[in-house]
Each structure stands twice: as C-alpha cells, then as structure tokens.
Amino acid sequence: MTENDIIESLFDQLPTELRFLDFVSSQSGKDYGDDGILKMSIPGSEAIAFNVEIKTQPRRSWLEQWHMRHQNDPLPPLVACLYLSPALQQYCVEHNINFIDGAGNARIVAPGIYIHISGKKGERATPSGTVSVGIMKLLFVLLADDKAINYTYREIAQLAGISLGMVSKGFDYLESKNLYRVSQGGRRLTRVNDLYWLWVQEYPLVLRPKLKTLKMQGEVQWSDNLLLAGECWSGEVAGHILSGGYLHPENVKLFTPYSFNERRKKLDMRPTPSGNWELIECFWGETFPVRENERAWALLTIAELLATNDDRNIETARKINEKYLHITKPTV
C-alpha cells in the first residue's frame, strides 16, 4: 500500500464534504515536510495544504516530539494514522494537533476548516496485519544466522524461544508471502531486505509491547562490566558501542533472562517509573547468543533506537545500519 493509498483510505472514513484533493510525497525530490503535502477542502472554502506525516499507530512520546518539531511550520501539520487510541485522540485535541485515523476520527483546524469527529472505534493495525509475536521471534533468528533456516524445527524453536508448532506456522506464513522457498539445496529466505525492514517496522508495534520491563535508578555505571551470561545491552548503550562511540548514552537498556528483582538487587538499584535504567526480558531462546552475534545485536539495537523517535538515536541507528546490515526501504 502506497502513502497515497493510505491517505485515500483514511478519507473514505471521513464525511464526504471533507474532500481529499491531492497528496505529493516528499519522495518526489521536492523539499516537502515529513511524508509530503496533503491538500483538502470543504464546500465554500479554498483548498488548504497540510504538512502531513503518516504513521501506523503513533505513541504519545512520538506525538510530543512531533508536535514540538512542527510548531513553527509554514503549513499546518497533520498526522495521518491507521490507529489512534481514544487517550491519544484527546491528547491531540488538548494540544491542538491535527489528525485523522483509520476509524474516521479526526481533528482538523485550519483557516476555513474546523472538523472534530470522535468516538469511532477502529482496530489496531500493523503494517502487515498478520505478523505475530511468534513470527517476529522466528525471523529474528533466521535473519541473524544464515545457517539457522536449515536447522531442524526443534533446534530453531530452541534458538527462537518458541514452540515447534510456531516454527511450522512461521514457515507457512513466509511461504504464503513468497518470502521463503524450499529447493534441492535446502530452505532459503527470499527478499531478505524486505524481511529486515518488516522486522524493524513491526518491532515497536508487535513484539516490544509484549516484553516485561522494569525501570530503575541507581549510582552504578553501565561501563563497569556488569553483564551476566545471556545478557546484552541495547538502546543507547549498544548504540554507543556499535557506532564506535558516536552516541553518548543517557538511558540504559539491558536485556536479561534473569529475575528482575534479583537483577535489580545485584545492581543495587531502586525501581522507579522515571529511572534511566530499564531491564527488559529476553525474547529469544537461551541457546541463541545475541551479544556474540553481530547481526542479531545490530538488528535489535537499530529497532530499539528507532522506536524512541529521538533524532540522535535515529542518526545512530542509521550509522549502525550502514556498518552492519545495509537495510533499505522496499520499493514496493
């Protein structure tokens, strides 16, 4: 689905008097805003252009940063998304953020236009609409280890931390999307770049929200050689390491297979929602060495950094991608 298709599908849910006139993508090479320029009108008014950004289902932290970034735009900014929770719709109204979503809710205020529609229920959506947590775990292993795809299902299940049945379902899904095939030489993934892109895009929507976490605060420094077997740094610390020191960490994320309570006590930290340390449960199997697998660690780090929507983290993710993975946005 193209950006233009998404915009048109959103307008299909809105009152017919609100007319979608044109969308010019920023990929056209012109110096437009985030994703492009959207033109719309209502009867009796001239067409109005908006600087639009398209998101699947934005989070509050992203909305806050986006709002700050666009307060002085020459064109009124607008978020077009497939899903926006009622709480975030209210946040947008209170902070004068224009939006439209896939259920038909909208807040659009500009010269000659005032639209406020709320209360319509929609479904959470992901870019693929079908990628499950289990498939995300399977793909993490298959993308990080070229040999893993030809291991036995039992070995793959152990590496990915999923059931044998989930391995089978995962391969069925990949085959149905023409992302995997079997030949005389064995199994192999096709369109590997597309799978990397899919994984990074889906991570903050599908997998990350399912992981247990604990925010903490203390005096210990991440650089004090604190890792235990099976653990790995992620986020800004991993970004610092993998980028060769480009990023100086302010927040610390540690994936661990151990009890949060025991780990917190060992680190001599106290739990607090405002802490700059975060423990995250490992989602892979005990036999998969993420910290020692350069590709796996880079993929996880890029996904975590991009999910923050922080400019310095995004730039660090770009540098890590250029060095290790070379993921590009699919053309189709």
- Domain housing 310: 211-325
228 and 314 in a single domain? The answer is: yes
Q: Which of 117, 147, 167 is the last residue of a domain?
A: 117
Answer whether residue 1 shows pLDDT above 50. Answer: no
Which residue type does 234 have? S
**Is the pLDDT assigned to residue 127 strictly greater than 50?**
no
Q: Are residues 215 and 303 in the same domain?
A: yes
pLDDT at 29 over 50: no
Q: Is 196 in the same domain as 238?
A: no
Range 286-311 average pLDDT: 95
Examine the domain organization and report whether 217 and 186 are in the same domain: no
Nearest to 279 by CA among 251, 300, 299, 298: 251
pLDDT of residue 228: 95
Percent of the chain residues past pLDDT 90, beyond the cut: 56
| Residue that is written with structure tokens 């310095």 in the block | 312
pLDDT in tens, 57-94: 788 888 999 999 888 888 999 998 877 888 899 999 99
Residues 255 and 303 in one domain: yes
299-320 core/surface letters (b: 16 or more CB in 10 A; e: else): bbbbbbbbbbbbeebeebbebb
* Residue 122 forms part of a structural domain: no
Same domain, 233 and 310: yes
pLDDT at residue 31 is higher than 50: no
Looking at per-residue confidence, does 184 or 225 come out higher?
184
pLDDT of residue 214: 96
If asked whether residues 232 and 141 sit together in one domain, one would say no
Locus of tokens 């002085």: 72
CB 55 within 8 A of CB 67: no
Nearest CA among 252, 216, 255 for reference residue 232: 255
Whether pTM > 0.75 for this model: the answer is no
> What angle do helix axes 192-202 and 294-307 make, rounded to 10 degrees?
40
In a domain, 123, yes or no: no
Residue 2: per-residue pLDDT: 56
Show the CA angle centred on residue 251, arms to residues 250 and 256, nearest 5°.
Answer: 145
Residue 206 lies in a domain: no
Q: Kindly tell me the sign of the dihedral angle through the C-alpha atoms of 169, 172, 176, 181.
A: positive
Q: Are 193 and 246 contained in the same domain? A: no
The pLDDT-based confidence of 246 (bands split at 50, 70, 90) is very high
The dihedral built from the CA positions of residue 282, 143, 175 and 191, taken in this order, carries a sign that is positive
What does the pLDDT read at residue 42? 77
Using one digit for the tens of pLDDT, what is the confidence trace for 249-267? 999 999 999 999 999 999 9
- Predicted confidence at residue 3, as pLDDT, reads 64
Q: Are residues 305 and 215 in the same domain?
A: yes
The count of domains in the chain is: 3
Query: Residue 250: its pLDDT value, please?
Result: 94
* Residue 320 within any structural domain of the chain: yes
What gap in Å lies between CA 21 and CA 330, rounded to an integer?
27
Q: How far apart are the first and last CA of the chain?
A: 8
User: Residue written as tokens 């540690």?
Assistant: 254
Determine what percent of the chain is predicted with pLDDT higher than 70: 90
Can you give the pLDDT at residue 61? 87
Q: Is residue 124 part of a domain?
A: no
pLDDT band at 30 (very low <50, low <70, confident <90, very high): very low
187 occurs within a structural domain: yes
pLDDT of 125 over the 50 cut = no
* 324 burial level (CB within 10 Å; 0-12, 13-18, 19+): middle
134 vs 47, more confident:
134
237 plus 307 within the same structural domain: yes
* Whether residue 124 has pLDDT greater than 60: no
H/E element, 271: strand 270-271
Structure confidence by residue, pLDDT tens digits, 299-321:
999 999 999 988 999 999 999 99
Distance CA 297, CA 279 (A): 16
- Check: CB of residue 231 under 8 Å from CB of residue 257: yes
- Residue 301 included in any domain: yes
Q: What's the whole-number average pLDDT of the chain? A: 87
Other C-beta atoms closer than 10 Å to the C-beta of 81 total 22
Where does the pLDDT of residue 195 fall: very low under 50, low under 70, confident under 90, or very high at 90 and above?
very high
The CATH number of residue 194's host domain is: 1.10.10.10
Please, which residues bridge with residue 22 across strands? 39
Last residue of a domain, one of 150, 172, 201: 201
- Confidence at residue 35, expressed as pLDDT on a 0 to 100 scale: 79
Q: Which of 117, 141, 161 represents a domain boundary (last residue)?
A: 117
Q: Are residues 155 and 78 in the same domain?
A: no
